[in-house]
Amino acid sequence: MSVFRVSSLLGLCLFLPTLALAQTSSDAGRSSGPKSLLPATVNSGSASEASTDRSVTTGGIVIGQLDAPGEAAAGLLGPSSGGLGLGLWEGSSAGIVHALYGRMPNHHASPAARDLARRLLLSIGTPPSGSDSAALLGQRMTLLITMGEADSAVALAEAASSGDLNNPAYSRPLADALLLSGDVKRACDLVGTQVRGGSRDFWQRASVFCDLQAGRRPDADLTRTILNETGRSSAVFDDLADAMADDVAVELEDAAQLSPLHLAMFRLGQKATLKSLAGLAPAIAARLATMPRLTTPLRLEAGISALRAGTLQPAAVTLILGAPDADLNADDFRQAAVAFARAEGKLARAEAMLAMWTVALSRGDAPVAAALASTALEHLLPSVDLAFLAPAAFRMHLLNGDRDRARGWLELLRRRAASGEREAVMAQTAILPLAQVSGIDPANNRRLGNWRDANPAGEGADRQWHRILLLMDAVGRPVTEALWTDALQSPARDEASAGLAETDAALWRQLVLASGAGRTGEAVQAALALIGPAGPGALDPLALASIVGSLRRLGLAPVAERLAVEALIATEAVRSGE
């Protein structure tokens, strides 16, 4: 039983009769009415003045807010700034759009899928007729929050300024976004409005946090008493409230239970600690990684977890890697990442980068290694003394979406192969499919045939060969019948035995129907739901090709090619000499 509960049970009967009076008095002292959550420029002046300088920075991109056309249609990305088009929902059914938002993953290991999801959620576009505008906005905000885009979620709510920010459909995700962002004042303004309007449960728990951080201990104690006696509290909440109120040390057992409200309480409960990070939500992990009072190993574990899910920028993790005790109790990948961060000199950094990449490949963390290496890799130019890095550098640049730099490393590799170096010849052959699927190389069936010659029949090679040929079709560079004839001679394989995800028939059908009818938003929703949190490498080849081909036909060829590249890198065999 918490410290608070022991001390408060006896006082329940004394406090209850004064509840109405206490709330009335407290309300009068705080505000004469609900406080707006919008910036002053949105609340005053003309409509044109309100929209002159509204922007949010997300993923390093400054996104200007467009004039608000209503909750569901509101967005931050127009057709000229990365949005998917004003008609992205044209022809879609409201029920299907709602359902597909519910099937989309909360986070994405795939950088390409993550970027596509962000574009979808932030695009301005007229919603399908009959849709629940407020509910759609709430779904979009919730997905942005779990993706680590809390600031974008707040900006999206503000872009829908014609709506009521106290609408239950999206006031809760707005509160979560403000709490995650550390905007306590605005979050507590919203909480106060909700509590005064009669909202209970979450809002009452949030009011305890707001009262404690504002020094209103009696108000917080009264609400805690009611919550505990009505069974609407929890052990995690009580422990964190004790840490805030009495500055007592508490150790949280289950990080998986941490919510944005818990995180806000954890920040201010200076003696609160975590036993482990198992099951921690990626959006919460991103905030813990930047919390100075946690130990470096714990921050690094949280940072890598968040980077893996795309909820934290690589630069933040790099800062943690540079700490003196970053390698304490670290697994093999974190040790390799620390060694890379500490390496000095061009050659030493390149060798450490390759070592980190090799470990990452063995555990499915190629995008994480590529992200951590991105800044250093941009400063390494292809040269003879770095030829050993060429195959890895080529792949990492592709994962980071930098085709021009990837092309430079490919040319270096080809020059080495032309000189007769055996390892360079092997490495060049291994990356032929990547070069052609990505569009860096024009389609060349003879070269693809060389890859097949170097990878004769066998379960892994057959499956990868089918995947390559299907992806060449999907990206619009179909191969000759001769190559497909070879594939037809390979026996069918059991995809489940390879650890690939079973394709959801309903999602696949919706993808095919929506993309065929040009319903962009719906098709993107279905594609992201099929890809799931694990990324395209976990898909069976047919589902993967369907997604890539559908996106290409919808005019999204660059993201389609990136997904294809990610899948090939995740599934290709790691060969000696590369």
Question: DSSP letter string over 269-288?
Answer: -TTEEES--TT--HHHHHHH
Count CB atoms within 10 A of the CB of residue 209: 25
- Position 44 pLDDT exceeds 50: no
List of long-range contacts for 381-388, beta carbons under 8 Å, 24+ apart = 381/408, 382/408, 382/409, 382/411, 382/412, 383/412, 384/412, 385/347, 386/346, 386/347, 386/350, 387/412, 387/413, 387/416, 387/424, 388/350, 388/354
Give the model's pLDDT for residue 42.
30
Instruction: Taking residues 488-513, report their average pLDDT.
Output: 80
Surface-to-core class of residue 349, CB atoms within 10 Å of its CB (0-12 exposed, 13-18 middle, 19+ buried): buried
Give pLDDT, residue 349.
Answer: 96
User: Are residues 208 and 238 in contact, defined by beta-carbon separation less than 8 angstroms?
Assistant: no
Contacts of 513 (CB under 8 A, 6+ apart): none
Banded model confidence at residue 65, pLDDT cuts 50, 70, 90: very low
Phi, psi of 39 (to 5 degrees): -60, 155
Helix or strand (DSSP H, E) at 109: none
DSSP three-state, residue 56: strand
363-418, pLDDT tens digit by residue?
A: 999 999 999 999 999 999 999 999 999 999 999 999 999 999 999 999 999 999 99
Alpha-carbon distance of 424 to 371, in angstroms, equals: 25
Is the Cβ–Cβ distance between 84 and 90 less than 8 Å?
no
CA 238 to chain CA centroid, nearest Å: 30
Q: What is the mean pLDDT of the chain?
A: 86
| pLDDT for position 18 | 38
CB neighbours of 481 closer than 8 A, spacing ≥ 6?
A: none
- The pLDDT confidence band at residue 164, using thresholds 50, 70 and 90, is low
Beta strands in 324-410 (DSSP E): none
57: which strand partners? 62
Taking the C-alpha atoms of residue 50 and residue 48, their distance in angstroms, rounded to an integer, is 5
Residues in the chain: 578
Question: Which range among 183-187, 200-204, 254-258, 497-501 shows the weakest confidence by mean pLDDT?
Answer: 497-501
CA distances 109 to 105, 133, 136, 319, 354, Å, are 10, 29, 24, 21, 21
Residues 6+ apart with CB under 8 A from 489: none
Instruction: Report the run of H or E that residue 64 belongs to, with start and end.
Output: strand 61-64
pLDDT in tens, 208-217: 999 999 999 9
The pLDDT tens digits for 539-562 are 999 999 999 999 999 999 999 999
Question: SS3 for 229-270, per residue?
Answer: HCCCCCHHHHHHHHHHHHCCCEEECCHHHCCHHHHHHHHHCC
Distance CA 72, CA 362 (A): 43
Per-residue CA distances from 118 to 393, 474, 498 (Å): 27, 23, 30
CB 224 within 8 A of CB 196: no
Of the candidates 439, 569, 578, the residue with the CA atom closest to the CA atom of residue 109: 569
Given this model, what pLDDT does residue 258 score?
94
At position 449, the amino acid (one-letter code) is G
For the cut 90, the answer to whether the pLDDT of residue 457 exceeds it is no
Q: Which pLDDT does position 49 carry in this prediction?
A: 30
What is the pLDDT at residue 28? 37
Alpha helix positions (H), 421-519: 422-430, 432-437, 445-454, 459-474, 481-488, 505-516
Find where tokens 């056309």 sit: 69
pLDDT at 59: 46
Task: Please report, for residues 432, 439, 472, 504, the alpha-carbon distance to residue 442 in angstroms, rounded to integers and kept in the order given.
Answer: 11, 6, 11, 33
The two tokens of residue 356 are 């980190």
As a dihedral over the C-alpha atoms of residue 25, residue 30, residue 35, residue 38, rounded to 10 degrees, the angle is -160
**Parallel, antiparallel, or unpaired: how do β-strands 55-58 and 61-64 relate?**
antiparallel
Q: What is the rounded distance in angstroms from the CA atom of residue 145 to the CA atom of residue 137? A: 12
